[in-house]
Amino acid sequence: MLPLLFKIGFLPVDLWDFLDVFIVALILYQLYRLLKGSIALNIFVGMVLLFLSYQVFQALGMNLLSSILTQFINIGFVSLIIIFQPEVRRFLLLLGTNTLKQRDSVWSRLLGREAEVHANSPELEDISRAFQRMAASKTGALLVCTQEADPDTVITGGTPLNSDISYGLLVSIFHKESPLHDGAVVIENRRITRASAILPVSENSKLPAAVGLRHRAAVGVTEKIDVVCFIVSEETGKISFARSGELERGIDERRLRDLLLNYL
Ligand SMILES: Nc1ncnc2c1ncn2[C@@H]1O[C@H](COP(=O)(O)OP(=O)(O)OP(=O)(O)O)[C@@H](O)[C@H]1O
């Protein structure tokens, strides 16, 4: 039994109570951050309100209401997992991938591998040039890059490819007359593995209204798995970047190169 810290009215508060409240607050805050901007946040708030009402009804001795709410709360945990399946999946995936990445980058830094792998990469050069050209000609483009995540879990359709990255190939794929120009090109570990792929579209209501399907698809896939996307807008010719559900719009050539250096 830990020593009493203080009393609120008749309620004794010890260190465990303090820790209890702190940990619950932390979990709720992390959940809020994870769900922010998605429709799941409304469901989560609804669930919390339901639970609080149950506690109040029980304290007031309103038996009929609390027994009805008990039924909801009893199946609550399973239904939460079903409703939040994409969020739970995303959370676990990000957790695992980040842990693995941190371990890898420590080794890379120790072995001095990072700089060697990325310096003067012809692939980086080719993507950057292709994007500048497509931006200038207002050719819509959508590129997904992944190193660790398996895109097959959320990306569907398209034409499988197994090709080196090249300026000519990228420009040809996204050319308006090309049968493969619709959808996304997927690059896995510096190889083009798919064209015309279909990505999950984001439901984030915080994205600007002017953001169309191409950009929403780019944001959507980065919400679900650990990938990044580069986009050229057909409407404005601007280049954008999506990562972890966030969209950075209107990036210049220098920023594009920096991002490619980090994420290709
Ligand atoms: N789910 C999806 N997965 C992959 N590509 C998609 C998806 N939805 C739309 N696209 C691509 O986006 C194109 C439509 O883009 P739309 O004009 O709606 O978006 P946008 O974000 O306004 O882009 P832009 O600024 O280029 O017009 C489609 O022709 C298709 O190539």
Residues 155 and 207 in one domain: yes
pLDDT at residue 100 greater than cutoff 60: no
Instruction: Find out whether 214 and 233 touch, Cβ atoms under 8 Å.
Output: yes
Residues 60 and 132 in one domain: no
CB-count burial class (<10 Å; 0-12, 13-18, 19+) for 247:
buried
For residue 92, how far is the Cα from the chain centroid? 12
Residues 183 and 255 in one domain: yes
Q: Specify the pLDDT at position 90.
A: 64
Q: What is the DSSP letter of 158?
A: S
Number of domains within the chain: 2
Cα end-to-end span (Å), the chain: 55
Is 101 inside a domain boundary? no
State the ipTM, two decimals: 0.94
Tell me which residue range forms the domain holding 199: 122-263
Residues 258 and 145 in one domain: yes
Report the alpha-carbon distance of residue 20 to residue 43 in Å, rounded: 24
With a 6 Å cutoff on the Cβ, whether 73 touches ligand 1 is no
With a 6 Å cutoff on the Cβ, whether 217 touches ligand 1 is yes
Q: Specify the pLDDT at position 14.
A: 81
- pLDDT tens digits, 13-47: 788 888 888 998 888 887 777 666 666 677 778 87
Q: Quote the ligand 1 centre to 241 CA distance (angstroms).
A: 14
Bridge partners of 163, per DSSP, are 192
- SS3 state at 53: helix
Report the alpha-carbon distance of residue 159 to residue 230 in Å, rounded: 19
Q: Quote the ligand 1 centre to 78 CA distance (angstroms).
A: 36
Could you tell me the CATH number of the domain that includes residue 135? 3.40.1700.10
Residues 139 and 234 in one domain: yes
Of 203, 200, 161, 163, nearest to 183 by C-alpha is 200
With a 6 Å cutoff on the Cβ, whether 249 touches ligand 1 is no
Q: Specify the pLDDT at position 73.
A: 76
Residue from 138, 196, 213 whose mutation best tests the ligand 1 pocket (most atoms within 8 A of CB):
213
Residues 178 and 227 in one domain: yes
Is 105 inside a domain boundary? no
Q: Quote the ligand 1 centre to 159 CA distance (angstroms).
A: 17
With a 6 Å cutoff on the Cβ, whether 14 touches ligand 1 is no
Indicate the pTM of the whole model.
Answer: 0.65
- pLDDT tens digits, 43-95: 778 878 888 888 888 888 888 888 888 887 777 777 777 777 766 776 676 66
What average pLDDT does this structure show over 187-200?
94
Residues 150 and 74 in one domain: no
Is 245 inside a domain boundary? yes
Per DSSP (E only), the strands in the chain are 4-8, 11-14, 141-146, 159-164, 184-188, 191-197, 228-232, 239-243, 246-248
Report the alpha-carbon distance of residue 68 to residue 26 in Å, rounded: 30
Q: Quote the ligand 1 centre to 105 CA distance (angstroms).
A: 34
Is 108 inside a domain boundary? no
Structural domain ending residue among the three candidates 67, 90, 113: 90
When comparing pLDDT for 111 and 32, which is higher?
Answer: 32
Atom of ligand 1 nearest to the CA of 181: 31
- SS3 state at 224: helix
Q: Can you read off the two tokens belonging to residue 254?
A: 């220098």
Is 144 inside a domain boundary? yes
pLDDT at residue 247 greater than cutoff 80: yes
Residues 73 and 31 in one domain: yes
> Whole-number mean pLDDT of the chain?
83
pLDDT at residue 238 greater than cutoff 90: yes
> Are β-strands 184-188 and 141-146 bridged in parallel, bridged antiparallel, or unpaired?
parallel
